[in-house]
Amino acid sequence: MVAGRVVRFDAVRGYGFITPDHGGEDVFLHANDLEIPEHQVRPGILVEFDVEEGDRGLKASDVRLAPGVVAALPGPGRQPDGDDPLCDVLTAQEYVHEVTEVLLSACPTLTGEQITQVRRGLLHFAKNRGWTDG
């Protein structure tokens, strides 16, 4: 069993690629090899999978969410086909910047230390859910 993050997935064509956490080349992902609903597959999500040698290189099989990953369910304004622009994976720096702006806007009386503590906790939370890059 290998862990990795989906780097892209085209729900219309039914395929994408996973970057293994241990490094190496990206692994081909086909919708037929998913053990989870296709709408849960999006860039940045952490998955576990087996690796097989396919006709054109490495291929993922038995793809499922990694332990502890909570799947995002479609909701109002979200599309289950993976084309949701609100689900883009941010860099850690982009995420921290966005969080800082929200915190300052929502509660301008927070101290610098309080903002730093909240950002640290939220960044850890976001990384564990695949919302930011490693």
Sketch the domain layout of the chain as residue ranges.
2-65, 88-128
Task: Give the contacts of 81 (CB within 8 A, at least 6 positions apart).
Answer: 11, 12, 39
Contact 132, 96 (CB under 8 A): no
pTM strictly above 0.75: no
Rounded mean pLDDT of the chain?
Answer: 83
Amino acid letter at 70? V
Phi, psi of 45 (to 5 degrees): -75, 140
Q: Mark residue 14 as left, alpha or beta (left: phi above 0; alpha: psi -120 to 50; beta: remaining).
A: left
Q: How confident is the model at residue 126 (pLDDT cuts 50, 70, 90)?
A: confident
Q: Which letter, b or e, does each residue of 55-72 get, where b requires 16 or more Cβ atoms within 10 Å of its Cβ?
A: eeebbbbebebbeebeeb
CATH ID of 2-65, from 2.40.50.140, 3.40.50.300, 3.40.50.150, 1.10.357.10: 2.40.50.140
pLDDT at 4 over 80: yes
For the segment 26-58, what is each residue's pLDDT rounded down to a tens digit? 999 999 999 998 888 988 889 999 999 988 889
Q: How confident is the model at residue 75 (pLDDT cuts 50, 70, 90)?
A: very low
What's the pLDDT at 127? Answer: 81
